């Protein structure tokens, strides 16, 4: 296992590139970033990947950038199955990070799963088949994946997500332009109470539904200065559902 602890006061960007395995990130009230990178299985390829990974702290404006780039001497691992399908594979690694609240994320993977607990700023994620779980993003969220599922608990700004077969679930959206595209995955967007809503959703063979009244004015219309959520969702065969944010998410924010 390789470990590093850096002092990272001020704005922070986590710049992560992991081909396969697991990424776990937690935020807390701290000004340090702690990193653990370890091999999941014990073989030469995995050890080579971990030993040759880049772990570095660099200055970035008035803040810092933490870089974790997991590559072996042979570069990113890609393997072909015996059948006609191509799959991404390679040595699995586990990356664990604890960092200050509000850190920005820039994550790139082939098939690594990402679990980001806590509060983040802007988020940009690109993956082929990894699943993504994100607790809270106060900045813009940009996600691109082929077959991984996307689950964002609490989003406070604009969202752009593009998936092929993965499902998209945004539990609680507060404001901003929400642009979602999917081929066969389902799309679910939860709207926080008090927000004004505009929805432009269409699907070729899927269905669209809404818990919110998107036609006539509701009995208690949000104030004109309430945050506006604009949802633009397009799928081929996936379903699109607009719903109210879960009461648990609303209650957690108020507590």
User: End-to-end CA distance of the chain, in Å?
Assistant: 38
- Evaluate if residue 140 carries a pLDDT over 70: yes
Confidence at 40, pLDDT banded by 50, 70, 90: confident
How far, rounded to the nearest angstrom, does the alpha carbon of residue 25 sit from its chain's CA centroid?
Answer: 11
- Evaluate if residue 72 carries a pLDDT over 70: no
Strand partners, 168: 150, 187
DSSP 46: H
Share of the chain above pLDDT 90, in %: 68
The number of beta carbons lying within 10 Å of the beta carbon of residue 158 is: 18
The answer to whether residues 214 and 199 touch, using CB atoms and an 8 Å cutoff, is yes
Q: What is the average pLDDT value for the chain, to the nearest integer?
A: 87
Q: Who contacts 100 (Cβ-Cβ below 8 Å, separation ≥6)?
A: 8, 9, 12, 27, 28, 29, 30, 31, 32, 33
pTM of the model: 0.86
Token representation of residue 34:
């702690």
Number of Cα atoms under 13 Å in the Cβ half of residue 150? 36
Taking residues 32-55, report their average pLDDT: 88
Q: Where is pLDDT greater, at 182 or 219?
A: 182
pLDDT given for residue 57 in this prediction = 98
The answer to whether residues 172 and 190 touch, using CB atoms and an 8 Å cutoff, is yes
Token representation of residue 255:
């507590």
Highest mean pLDDT among 44-48, 61-65, 84-88, 245-249: 61-65
* d(C-alpha 164, C-alpha 105), whole Å: 22
Share of the chain above pLDDT 70, in %: 85
């Amino acid at each position: 296992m390789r470990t590093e602890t850096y002092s990272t006061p001020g704005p922070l960007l986590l710049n992560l590139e992991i081909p396969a395995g697991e990424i776990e990130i937690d935020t807390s009230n701290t000004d340090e970033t702690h990193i653990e990178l370890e091999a999941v299985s014990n073989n030469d390829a995995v050890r080579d990947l971990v030993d040759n990974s880049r772990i570095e702290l660099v200055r970035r404006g008035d803040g810092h950038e933490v870089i974790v780039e997991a590559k072996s001497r042979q570069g990113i691992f890609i393997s072909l199955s015996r059948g006609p399908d191509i799959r991404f594979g390679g040595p699995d690694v586990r990356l664990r990070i604890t960092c200050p609240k509000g850190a920005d994320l820039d994550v790139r993977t082939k098939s690594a799963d990402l679990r980001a607990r806590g509060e983040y700023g802007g988020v940009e994620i690109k993956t082929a088949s990894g699943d993504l779980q994100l607790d809270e993003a106060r900045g813009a969220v940009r996600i691109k994946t082929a077959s991984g599922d996307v689950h964002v608990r609490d989003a406070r700004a604009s969202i752009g997500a593009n998936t092929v077969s993965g499902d998209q679930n945004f539990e609680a959206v507060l404001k901003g332009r929400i642009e979602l595209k999917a081929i066969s995955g389902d799309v679910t967007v939860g709207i926080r109470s008090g927000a004004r809503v505009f929805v432009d959703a269409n699907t070729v063979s899927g269905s669209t539904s809404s818990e919110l009244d998107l036609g006539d004015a509701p009995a208690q219309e949000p104030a004109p200065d309430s945050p506006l959520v604009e949802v633009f969702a397009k799928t081929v065969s996936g379903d699109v559902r607009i719903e109210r944010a879960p009461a648990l998410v609303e209650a957690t924010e108020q507590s």
